[in-house]
Amino acid sequence: MRRRLEIARAVLHTPQVLFLDEPTLGLDPQARIHIWDYIKRLRNEYGTAVFLTTHYMEEAEMLCDRVAIIDHGKIIALGSPEELKSMIGNDVIYIKIDDLNQDTCSRLSIDGVQSCKVIDSETMVVQVRKASEAIPEVLRYLEKSEVKVKEVSYRRPSLNDVFIHSTGRGIRDSEGEFIDAVRMRRRARMR
């Protein structure tokens, strides 16, 4: 409730520029979504410029037109969420097939397919530029080859993937470094 009150006070006068530092930290999912909707409304209806700091990549992806990833006080990646995600890779399609063999993957030569790997006895992983365009083509190819498809799913790179790719570590790793540094300082004081 305190966090909601803080946000309400900040937007009461409909500011032209609004700085929000971790606005949804500690909120339940329903309250987070409500705050996200309100921030979008401020931006869209009132033209409010919103500067937002967050550790929630989902929040940054949903609310931000531009994202800066900062590591050790320096901006190491900057762009729209889509630009940042495109810099690290492609969409990945997972296809479960009855009686999968390596030939099915090696014969897959469709425009947009960049690689294909068999990862277990029934799953192949296909890396493509744009899954929404490639999936129908891949399925048509498999149908012509008389391959029975059991399941298809795909995954796009996320801002979490971008963060890890850009910094070389997850947020938890950097928190661990901080905790280790604090422990070392304490030990030095005790001596």
> pLDDT tens digit string along 6-17?
777 877 777 899
State pLDDT tens for residues 123-176: 888 888 888 899 999 999 989 888 899 999 998 888 988 888 788 765 544 445
Domains contained in the chain, CATH given: 2-64 (3.40.50.300), 88-155 (3.30.70.980)
**Total residues found in the chain within this entry:** 191
Give the confidence band of 66 by pLDDT, cuts at 50, 70, 90. very high
pLDDT attached to residue 111? 81
Pairing verdict, β 149-155 and 91-97: antiparallel
pTM exceeds 0.85 for this model: no
Q: How far apart are CA 68 and CA 155, in angstroms?
A: 23
pLDDT per residue as tens digits for the range 42-65: 899 999 999 999 999 999 999 999
Write out the two tokens for 124: 């192949």
Whole-angstrom CA distances from 54 to 46, 64, 138 are 22, 11, 38
